[in-house]
Amino acid sequence: MNNLRPLLHALLLPLMLSGCLFGSSDESQTASAASNGLSPFDSESQLLERIRSGISQSSTYQQDMVAAPEMATVASDSNTASGISSSSSSSSTGSSGGSDAGRSTTNLQIEGVDEADRFKSDSDRLYVINNTSYYGGDIGIMPVTFAASSDSSEEVIATTSATIAAPEATLYPMPQSAQNSITVYQLDSSSASYTTLANLSVGEKDDPGLSGLYLLENSRVVLIYGQRQNYWGFWHDSWAWQQGESVIEVVDLTNLNAPKVEQRLEIDGYLIASRRINNQLYIASRFSPYLPNYEPWVYADDSNSSSRNQTLLDQADSSELLPQIRVNGTAATLVTAATTYEPLLNQQSDHLSGDLVTLLQFDLQNGQWQSRTLLGNSETLFMSQNAAYFATASATYQSSDDGYLYYSPDWTTQIHKFALEESGPHYVGSGEVVGHLGWEEDKKPFRMGEIAQADGTALLGIVTSEGDEWLGDSSTRLSLLKTEASGELSLLSNLTNLGKPGEHLYAARFIEERAYLVTFRVTDPLYIIDLSSPTTLNASDHLGELEIPGYSDYLHPLPGGYLLGLGKDAVADSSSDSGDGRGAWYQGVKLTLFDVRSLKAPQALASLVIGRRGSESNALTDHHAFTWVAASATTAARLALPIAFNDYPPSYYGADLNSPSTWYDWSHTGLYKFEIDTSAATITGVGSLIAESRDSSTPYDYPDYDVSNDRALIINEALFYHHGETLLSGYWGE
């Protein structure tokens, strides 16, 4: 165990952000140096030399990072008693985003910044990406973890609840695309029914997997291929990012018998993320050069391999070291020296990387594109309507006598800002804060947010973690950064030591002039931070706190000063301080309605626990699975969640039904429906649409599909639920 902990830290290290922003279809767009440090490269030869150095350094830097890591505990499991349980107080009605006049839409982090998803609907059509992957090819570390917990005062929905015990990370083959396809349905909301219009093969035979889509006007769609899956477990490893390709197609589906591809972009490198703002599509991709016969892990005393590697590097030219883009079959250079930046972190000899992270802006109307690139491996991307922010954490490494890498708890995170303009993304400036962004990739964008100011500018808020959870001295820090005239992102103010020692940050959300944070160890402290006076932040005037059992993984804003939390219930481990690694045993899926109108007196108005320990919802890790319709004058707000419900008596030997640590077996999978009324201070379960159920005649039965790709759509009183390969429909009130 002593050896695993430092190795875990090394493996999970989200390596340094570096930057190169993109060559454009119009070379007249020339990047200029910012006064605070980042400058484009002077020449292609200088850029290529830095890439060669980065590849060489990565070979020695990663040689000790090949064993499977022991994962830090991440919340995701549950247990609870039968029935639905809840608690109440009084308040007033509210609603939130993710809906449009009785119709749910894709749940977004930032209003006006669209996100790709596998399930999209317009007025009368539904487009669903089919599960067409098979295993083979790339190998990646795919760690799995889960959680659990419960409180007798809360209402609980029970029939079964289950969670998977956290296994050690293992090497699994990554999914490779077979034939990509989408199914198009015609919806009739008045009868809660549908007709299958077409099952369309899309893309080309060797395209990567179809990961998301966007809807445009007039039955046009944007198809996104090539997203790297489960990458957070091996983000540091450049070799896991080689030979990737991202493909974007704009397709006219007016005539389903003859789909027309209007635009096709092929980009060297794996897709990291995409966003759409009006007619501008933004693609972030990561390219790691691949040199045949190059040995990625070479020991210092292996002079022959080192010599062969150096020869291959010396011979490599721009065709091998720089990514290309092909637009409708015509190739162009994606990355140029004039549009590529190298953050200071990547210039340190022990942090060199030859990877290129590119932000491409593609005009969906005229087909023009512009790009900028960071040299290195940016850790996450946050995007508002006006700017994109790349962020990466780093720490000082030390080598021990036993051959393992250790890091200091003195983390820092670098942030690089790019303005989103009609002429393309432009580098603005950079800054640095204390702490790191955590281990969970899907939550990192939510750790950042913009706070609008009266003068029309915006501050950047960023939440980071400090210390060492293993040693029980971790804490959370909130920093506010101001964009100076020079472009520098300077520290305006911060709040430190948020949370009790050893607590882990589970959820963060910036909403208007407030930040909401959830930390957890045994109990769930919800922190409310008032950012309306950003220059004078202090805990006594600007911080509110509420402690409840369990934790929230996702926070959803409701109008009028309310907040809805989705996470897991938890029961303290009375026999030790371990629990699921957090001092408590995770239980069923939990919803909590918060009244946050008063900064200093927040309340938990109602809570509901669904299933027992082992129950899961993909909405805990993917906010797109959170299906929401705001309240109207006549109806309460509506929420639909896919849930794998566990409460069947466990089949394993020695299970103790009186112990909160007991895992329950799967009972059924379905779409659970809830109504949230802030004026009555209630969360009410109103039934479920069951997709598959356990065969009670056998002691061992498992679902045909998990809930990882499940999605739902609400249209007035009609409900549509996609699970596995099936679309189910019904009425909300059924």
- Which amino acid is it at 31? A
* Per-residue pLDDT band at 5 (split at 50, 70, 90): very low
| Other beta carbons less than 10 A from residue 728's beta carbon | 16
Which residue's structure tokens are 């989103």? 420
Average pLDDT over residues 398-419: 66
Tokens of 40: 């484009």
> Distance between CA 119 and CA 622 in Å, rounded?
13
Measured CA to CA in angstroms, residue 210 lies from 20, 141, 175, 198, 389 at distances of 26, 21, 11, 17, 25
* Residue 401, pLDDT score: 52
Four-residue CA torsion sign, 441, 443, 446, 448: negative
pLDDT 10s digits, 185-233: 999 999 999 999 999 999 998 899 999 999 999 999 999 998 765 444 4
98 has pLDDT over 70? no
Helix axes 44-61, 303-315, angle to 10 degrees: 160
12 has pLDDT over 60? no
- Cβ distance 720 to 712 under 8 Å? yes
* Residue 502, pLDDT score: 74
> Distance between CA 722 and CA 734 in Å, rounded?
17
- Cβ distance 120 to 214 under 8 Å? yes
16 has pLDDT over 60? no
* Per-residue pLDDT band at 510 (split at 50, 70, 90): very high
> Distance between CA 516 and CA 565 in Å, rounded?
11
Q: How many helices (H) and strands (E) does the chain have?
A: 5, 46
> Distance between CA 590 and CA 601 in Å, rounded?
22
- Return the HEC string of 147-208: CCECCCCCEEECCECCCCCCCCCCEEEEEEECCCEEEEEEEECCCCEEEEEEEEECCCCCCC
- Cβ distance 345 to 8 under 8 Å? no
pLDDT 10s digits, 511-567: 999 999 998 765 558 999 999 999 988 888 899 999 888 889 999 999 999 999 999
* Residue 576, pLDDT score: 57
- Cβ distance 617 to 146 under 8 Å? no
* Residue 471, pLDDT score: 57
- Chain-centre distance for alpha carbon 600: 31
Which of 529, 519, 534, 601 minimizes the C-alpha distance to 567? 519
- Return the HEC string of 398-443: EECCCCCEEECCCCEEEEEEEEEECCEEEEEEEEEEECECCCCHHH
Q: What share of the chain is helix, strand, coil (3-state, %, to 5)?
A: 10, 45, 45
Which of 569, 547, 475, 555 minimizes the C-alpha distance to 508? 555
Tokens of 254: 């007016």
Four-residue CA torsion sign, 185, 103, 672, 520: positive
- Cβ distance 551 to 570 under 8 Å? yes
494 has pLDDT over 60? yes
- Cβ distance 713 to 104 under 8 Å? yes
> Distance between CA 108 and CA 98 in Å, rounded?
7
| Other beta carbons less than 10 A from residue 731's beta carbon | 14
* Residue 380, pLDDT score: 87
pLDDT 10s digits, 320-359: 999 999 999 999 999 999 999 987 655 554 556 889 999 9
Helical residues (DSSP H) of 283-426, grouped into ranges: 303-315, 318-321
Tokens of 694: 């356990």
139 has pLDDT over 50? no
Phi, psi of 463 (to 5 degrees): -110, 125
Is residue 338 helix, strand or coil?
helix
* Residue 82, pLDDT score: 31
Going by the DSSP 8-state scheme, the letter that residue 725 receives in this structure is T
- Of 403 and 211, the structure prediction assigns the larger pLDDT to 211
| Other beta carbons less than 10 A from residue 63's beta carbon | 16
- Which amino acid is it at 682? T
- Chain-centre distance for alpha carbon 271: 13
Query: Mean pLDDT of all residues in the chain?
Result: 80
Tokens of 651: 């089949």
Which of 269, 261, 272 minimizes the C-alpha distance to 222? 261
Which of 725, 628, 647, 734 minimizes the C-alpha distance to 689? 734
β-bridge mates for residue 682, sequence order:
677
- Of 134 and 492, the structure prediction assigns the larger pLDDT to 492
- Cβ distance 353 to 417 under 8 Å? no
- Cβ distance 509 to 515 under 8 Å? yes
Four-residue CA torsion sign, 147, 573, 149, 511: negative
pLDDT 10s digits, 417-429: 999 998 899 999 8
92 has pLDDT over 50? no
* Residue 348, pLDDT score: 52
Element (H, E) at 52: helix 44-61
* DSSP states of 594-661: EE-SSSSS-EEEEEEEESSTT-B-GGGT-GGG-EEE---SSS-EEEEEEEEEEEEPP-STT--TT-TT
Average pLDDT over residues 446-460: 96
Of the given ranges (68-72, 108-112, 201-205, 660-664), which has the lowest mean pLDDT? 68-72
642 has pLDDT over 60? yes
Average pLDDT over residues 12-22: 33
β-bridge mates for residue 288, sequence order:
242
